[in-house]
Structure formats: C-alpha cells, structure tokens
Structure 1
Amino acid sequence: MRACHECDWVVVLPALRGGEHATCPRCGHILVRRHFRPAQRSMALAISALIALILAISFPFVSFEARGIGNNIELTQTATSMIGFHQPLVAIIVALTIIVLPAVYLCGVIWLQLGLLRGVPFPFSRGIARSLTHLNPWMMADVFIIAALVSLIKIAGMAQIVLGVSFWAFCAFAILLLMTTRSIDADWMWFSLAGEPQAPKGIRTAETAASQGLAGCSTCGLINEVDESGHGHCRRCGEPLHLRLPHSLQRTWALLAAAIVMYIPANVYPIMTTTLLGQSNPATIIGGVIELIEKGSWPIAAVILFASIIVPVGKILALIWLSLVVRRSNELGASTRTKLYRVTEFIGRWSMVDLFVVAILVALIRAGNLMSITPGPAALAFGAVVILTMLAAMTFDPRLIWDSPQTSIKKQSKETINE
C-alpha cells in the first residue's frame, strides 16, 4: 500500500512489469514507475555520466577570438571566475548545481546499485538513498546547457566561437544524468534495501492516510503510524514524518516574501556590465532583453524573457494564489490546483538560465578594455530569487489542497495502471 504524496489517498499498488507505472486514481500523480533491470540500468547510466563529467572538466570548454585577441575556458572556470569579481556565493551556486551535486548523486547511485547487485548493500546505503531524493531538484546540468547555447549565440556576431571537447562531453553528461535520474525505481530500491514492513493494522484504501492517523513517507513511500502530535519517523528509511508539513503555509509565505524583496534589486541593478572598446554598458535583466530585441535576436530574447521574468513572477503569483485559496472556496477544483502546483515546482529551476549565462560570459569574455564582461550586483540577488522560490514550492504541502472542505471525495478504483 502507498499514500499519494500529493493528495494523501491510500491505494494498493498492483503488480507491475518493466515499462509500466501506477498513478493515483484521485489526483493523477505517478506513484511508481517500473524499469527493466533497474539496478543494471541505473548503474550503467551513472557510470557513463560520471565518465562524461570527468571528460567535461578535463578539457577546454569553449574558446573565442575577436580582433586578434582570444580566450579559452574550462568548465570549472565558469564558477571560479566569479570569485575574482567578489561573487563567491554565485561561484558556489554554479559549482554545486552543475558539478559537485551531480557528481555526488552519481557516486551515490553507483554505490547503492553495486551493493544491490552483489546482494548485500554497502554501509550507509539507506542514508545515501535518502539523500538522492533531496539532491534531485538541485542538479541543473540541463539548464546549464541551455544557458551555454544562449551565451554563444549572444556573442556569435562579435567573435569567432570554437566549441571544445568539454562542451560536447558536458552535453552527453547532461543527457546521461537526466536518464539516470529517470531510471531510478525508488520503490524497488527501498524494497531491495530494507524489505517491505507490514502495513499498519486496520488500514483502509480509498481514504486519506491522515484520516486514519497515518502518514506516507515522501522518501521511500512506506505508510507509517504517527504519534498523537501527528509526527514520527519512517520505520524503513528513518525520514521524519508529518500528517501535514508543520507550518507549511507560514514558511511558504516567508520564503515568497523574501523572494519578492530580492526580486527588486535583481531587476533594478545591472546583472552584468559589457565593456567594448573602452566603453562600459551596464545592463539589467529587462534591459538585456530589450537590447537583444533591438539587435534582432528574438529567439534569445524570448528565452531570457521567459526564464528570467515570466517564470519567477509566474511562480510567485501561482504560489501566492495557491496559499490564499488552499482552505477557502475556490473557482478551480483541487485537481486543477494540484496541476498548477506541479508546473510551478517543475519550472522554477529553469530560471537559473540567466545566472549561468552571466557566469559563462564573465569567464569567456576577458580581453580588458577591448572586450570584457563583468558580473553585476543583480546576479546574486537573482540567484537568491530562484533558490527562494524553489524552497517555497518545496515547503508548500500540496495535500492541503485536498484537505479543503470544498473538496469532494469520490470513491474510485484503488489503482490505475498506465502502460
């Protein structure tokens, strides 16, 4: 049995074959996705991704030449170059999201799956398995690839660009990392690590777990009993449990307020300054979009506008609206509001495109007064906005949507299988 993470509905999981998945009959959330040979598949992909990452940090990433002056950079310089401009926090954000956290994740996957293949899990396997779930949203290699393409197109008219071995290796790494994350069968993995403890006595399907004094683990999926205060720990993985995330709305409001405050300097101050032939031109986010439109670079302007303006503002407004109507009468149904929450949770990380563009251009364009780009004070503020909105989405408990008194609960089939 499992309790849906998004609506708390208790269902019985059917027997699934590789390539099949089970969805919640109440909200449509995917509960389990089965894969053929899950351990071998995920370990092979993780090893391949790790090799690609090693290649990506070992060779030149990209080089440019303009007016007889050129420069080439390695992948790691997109982070380290920010330190020279007194932006250590931005450097940490870039390094963690594109190199460090993905490397830790891949090593964890290899460690876990190798232990499962030999039949005896290695030490610390449960703690590592728990960590994988929390690392997933913060790995942004795919976002960095989009940022690299945007950066290169922006300067293609001013300089000759040469893509290095590292660029193609990093593209392969980003694809393999994405495939690795999607190949993880968490339900099978936890069953292989720690078995399937017996379900609490008297548990009923087609009802919420909270109504029965139970809580589903968001990490391993096991349904557990909680104490009178509504809290506890998972019997299988040790993850803290709550009938509902404590102070979920208050934390969401606080993070949204902080994001709104940081969004002001992120748009008022320059995000980067371009120096060309001795003349400096500071540019804000919206100013950069307008400049791209004036130069005829409509596609790049659209990407920056969407990622840096529409997505952050849209996510903030969506979370504000969800927080306001979560316990009130609403025009849209709980299912529609849950879909809106999924969209806000998914798109938030893509706003990091603009910050990565700045990091790449700052590292690459360093030809003094002839041509150079330096980061502006808005870079850190914008990075903070992205992180704060992601945290706001994580602290919002979507199960509260279905706790609304106006939500009608209909008895439905216990499981839905989509092949």
Structure 2
Amino acid sequence: MTPSTHEQDQATHGTRRRLRACPECDWVSALPPLSPGDKACCPRCGHTLAQRHFRPAERSLALALSSLMALAIALSFDFVRFEFSGIGNSIDLIETVTTMISFDHSLVAICVVLAIIVLPTLYLCGVIWLQIGLLQRNPLPASRQIARSLVHLHPWMMADVFVIGALVALIKVGGLADITIGISFWAFCFYAALLLLTMQSIDSDWLWFSLAPEPLAPADTQTGTTAAPQGLGGCTTCGLINRLDSRGHGRCRRCSEPLHDRLPNSLQRTWALVFAATVLYIPANVYPIMTTTYLGNSDSSNIIGGVVELWHGGSIPVAVIIFIASILVPVGKLIALVWLCLAARRGNTNHSFVRTRLYRVVEFIGRWSMVDIFVVSILVALIRAGALMSITPGPAALAFASVVIVTMLAAFTFDPRLLWQESPALEEPSHA
C-alpha cells in the first residue's frame, strides 16, 4: 500500500505532532483527528494505530466492575452437577484447579487458574484503578506502570476459551449422565463476555494522552517512510515515537517501555521456540491426555483418539472443534511460523502484506488450543464416581499446555517488521 496524500503533505511540512510508527511494518504516519467510533489504520499494512471510543473512561469502568461482580458470583455457587446411577457430584469453579493439583498436575492447574481467574482479576482491577483516576482528572499512583502491564496481560486471559471448553465437556458427558448447569456457569459466561468487552473498550491512545500529554516526535522525523533508517522506534505500549541510540535500542520517554528498531535475535528466538514446541507436540499426542473409567473398565485416550471417539459417537461438531483447536491450530501455527521465518530471512517484500495478515492470524488463534486443557480440567473435577465412572488426567496434559504456551511465545518473539525489510534479516541486531 502507498502512503496517502495527507501523509505526503504531513511529510512536506515536517509536522511532529501525533506521529506513529506502525509496530507491524515500521511505517511512520500522522494520526488524523478522531471522533468517537473512528479508527486510524496504517496506510501501508492496515494495522489499527488508534481507535476512539465514546466516553472511554466511564465505559471501561462500568464494564470492569460488572465483570468482577459476575466473577464473584461465578466463584460463589455450583458450576455444574452430574448424576449417574444414583451417584452425583457437583463442583464449583475452583475445583477445576484443585482437583488437577490432587492428581499431581500442579503446573497445569496453575496455568488454568492464571488464565481464567488471577490474570483477568488483576487486569480488571488495573482498569478500575486507571479509570477512577482519569475520571477525577488526577491519575492515581503507579498509573503508568499499570497501563503498561495491561498490554502484557492481554494475550494470556482465556475466560472465553474456558467457556468453549466447558461446553465441549458438557456435551461430551451429556449422553452418559444427567447434567445440571449451575448459577456459576451462567455467571461465568457473562463474566467472559464482559471481560472481552472490557478489553475492547480500552482506548489506549486516549488513555496514554490522559495519563501523560504526548510530547513532540524527535526533530526531523519524516512521515511516508520507515522509522528505523531515521534512527527512530515506535513504542508498542503507548505509541510514542522515540529516538534510538546507535545500536537501535532505547526506552520510551512516556511509558519507559524498552524499544528496539528490530527485536534482538528475533528469528533465532522464534526458531528455538518453534523447535521446542515441535518436540513437545510429540508426547502431547503420543501419551494419553486422560483416562476414562466406565463400569470398571479403564480406557486411555490421546488427543487424536478422543477426536475419533467423539466422531464415531455422533458428537461431530464437538469432534470438529477439538480437531481444529488441538490438532489443526498447533500444527498450522508451527508451519506458518516456519514459513514467516524463512520469508523474513530471504528479505523478499513482494508479499509482505499477505504475510503480515498471516502473522496476525497466528498471533490471534494460538490461545484457542487451550480448549482441550480446559476440557480435561473440568471433566477430571466433575466425573469422580470411582470404578463406576471417573476421569483422570494423563501425562499429555502438561506437554500439550506447554505446546500452547511455547507457540504463543514464538509468535510474540517474531518481529513482523522483518517481513517488510528489503535486506535479509541476517542483519537484524543481535544486542540483548
């Protein structure tokens, strides 16, 4: 994509107000005035640079408070109950974590509780803290540090994925036992929806401008070209353009986020994480992810076996969901990251726009593979009737959770700006 006439005019006049360097392609552009409902996108790659909301502080505060209230209800009542041959069991939300610990799967339990309760709670409390200060027109202490933290917490909150996992688990056992959905289940669904709305309501551009007025861009900053050749770098947290040192490193003047013209050793780190995820994916599929005991007979199943069993059992939609989330997404993500690394290494920019869109997909879909882990944690806690009917977690659970986390880290360490770099990425900085 080519820069607009507005950008060329901005470059001609050398304006230094409201400039942004796109975090995905490094293109420097000037933000136009924005009204509620408007958004500004990079003219080169289409990445959203800023999006304005109506009454952002009031909106985010109301959604965050509602989310915490829904979570409190979800933690206070029964989540779901099952009954089989006169034997029943009901669980609350926390038992999906504590039961995994009782089966010596503490690391998996930690991942579950962090993703659905702890990190979202910290995020929502941070939003409330920030918006109260902004409504009073007097930011509360540590507001800048909290605003920085919100950006880093965003990808690791998976309440919406847990809802899908819960639905899959209930469908999976619905034909074998009587299932009763508790108040906590519906409250958690509202909580997951409100959490998503809260994240979408954050107007980062307005937030940072309200916390700390935006200083002018460095002198001689030119729009309509990339930032790195000018010795500049855009902050991925608050958006401010900053001058970098001779090694291409620096720190944001507004939020203190570390800056790099290109992420140090981006390809090497991505290759290492892709290799680690590939190695972990083998035991994740070879070993059983859970063992089901039914009328005294035990049957261990791995991920692929579980998909086949669901398909033959008539639960075709559930089988498709598990196949996509647990097999297609991890394998596709690994293949896509390998292709992106090879493309960045060659330095061919002919299809940079398409590759950047692929990178966005890879970054977005990674967390959805946690569906299978959430299904296991729910079933293990719920189905506990001894030799009559019970489910225990298998060794593949930890391996598969590790695959999800490592592939997400691989996507984060890959620098999409390398896809727009005409010279081969062998020249990327190697300084830590």
TM (norm. structure 2) is 0.93
**Partners of 1:213 and 1:329 in 2: how far apart?**
20
Local SS of the residue matching 2:247: coil
% identical equivalent positions: 67
Equivalent residues of 2:349, 2:420 under 8 A apart: no
Q: How does 1:72-91 map to 2 (within 5 A)?
A: 72-91=90-109
Name the counterpart of 2:305: 287
Equivalent residues of 1:233, 1:240 under 8 A apart: yes
**Partners of 2:315 and 2:345 in 1: how far apart?**
45
Runs of 4+ in structure 1 over 2 Å off: 329-332, 404-407
Q: Which letter does structure 1 place at the counterpart of 2:98?
A: T
Equivalent residues of 2:130, 2:147 under 8 A apart: yes
Q: How does 1:367-406 map to 2 (within 5 A)?
A: 367-405=385-423
**Partners of 1:406 and 1:255 in 2: how far apart?**
21
- 1:331 is displaced (CA, Å) by 9.2
Local SS of the residue matching 1:57: helix
- 1:372 is displaced (CA, Å) by 0.3
Local SS of the residue matching 1:404: coil
Any unmatched runs of 5+ in structure 2?
A: 1-18, 426-432
- 1:197 is displaced (CA, Å) by 1.0
| Correspondent of 1:40 among 54, 58, 77 | 58
Output one character per residue of 1:77-121: Cα deviation in whole Å (capped at 9) or x when no partner.
Answer: 111110000000000000000000000000000000000000111
Matched, 1:275 2:302: no
**Partners of 1:406 and 1:320 in 2: how far apart?**
16
Name the counterpart of 1:111: 129
Q: Which letter does structure 1 place at the counterpart of 2:143?
A: S
**Partners of 1:140 and 1:295 in 2: how far apart?**
28
**Partners of 2:130 and 2:424 in 1: how far apart?**
44
Name the counterpart of 2:31: 13
RMSD: 1.2
Output one character per residue of 1:147-200: Cα deviation in whole Å (capped at 9) or x when no partner.
Answer: 000000000000111110100000000000000000000011000001101210
- 1:406 is displaced (CA, Å) by 9.2
Output one character per residue of 1:260-292: Cα deviation in whole Å (capped at 9) or x when no partner.
Answer: 010000000000000011111000000001111
Q: Which letter does structure 2 place at the counterpart of 1:51?
A: M
Matched, 1:175 2:231: no
**Partners of 1:130 and 1:330 in 2: how far apart?**
34
**Partners of 1:165 and 1:280 in 2: how far apart?**
32
Q: Which letter does structure 2 place at the counterpart of 1:322?
A: L
- 1:404 is displaced (CA, Å) by 2.7
Name the counterpart of 2:89: 71
Local SS of the residue matching 1:326: helix
| Correspondent of 1:297 among 309, 315, 322 | 315
**Partners of 1:95 and 1:71 in 2: how far apart?**
21
Output one character per residue of 1:330-389: Cα deviation in whole Å (capped at 9) or x when no partner.
Answer: 596100000000000000000000000000000000011100000000000000000000
Local SS of the residue matching 1:287: helix
Equivalent residues of 1:71, 1:364 under 8 A apart: yes
**Partners of 1:50 and 1:84 in 2: how far apart?**
28
Name the counterpart of 2:253: 235
Number of aligned residue pairs: give it: 407
| Correspondent of 1:141 among 134, 155, 159 | 159
